[in-house]
Amino acid sequence: MFSVGAFSLPLSVKYFLGIPRSGVYRSRQVDVKQNLQTVIAKTDKARFDYMTQSGMHGSYIEGLVLDQLFGQQRESGISASQLLMEASEQNIPIYTITAENVNEILPILQLSS
């Protein structure tokens, strides 16, 4: 099965008198938009558990793939799954917000308007 991803290396350009003089790649970005899989499992729960772990693993790999590909470690990659793992390790609450609980959860979050 095929996957679809977006890969970018944003260029930071320095100008002199309005003329581009140099450029540096400051970051790398990977976003896999679609990762198709066929899953056969004995139960719906087993299929759900596999897909959950597969999604977390795929997200984690997004943060590392370019460093591994080029053999470089400029800055550690970060992904949604990495942020969730670190929040969990630091006992930072993680909320699942649904239409049913949004009015209960939003007031307890510390967010700017």
Instruction: Give residue-wise pLDDT tens across range 19-66.
Output: 999 988 777 677 777 777 888 999 999 999 998 888 878 877 776 776
Three-state secondary structure call for residue 45:
helix
- Number of domains composing the chain: 1
Query: Which of the four pLDDT bands, split at 50, 70 and 90, describes residue 12?
Result: confident
Per-residue pLDDT for 99 more than 90?
Answer: yes
Could you tell me if residue 64 is inside a domain?
Answer: yes
Residue for token pair 């899953």: 39
Rounded average pLDDT over 9-26: 87
Q: How far apart are CA 81 and CA 85, in angstroms?
A: 6
What pLDDT score was predicted for residue 72? 62
Could you tell me if residue 53 is inside a domain?
Answer: yes
Per-residue pLDDT for 100 more than 90?
Answer: yes
Could you tell me if residue 37 is inside a domain?
Answer: yes
Domain membership of residue 55 as a residue range: 3-108
The values of phi and psi at residue 105, to 5°, are: -80, -45
What pLDDT score was predicted for residue 42? 93
Could you tell me if residue 66 is inside a domain?
Answer: yes
What pLDDT score was predicted for residue 63? 67
User: Which helix H or strand E contains 66, and what residues bound it?
Assistant: helix 65-70
CB 30 within 8 A of CB 66: yes
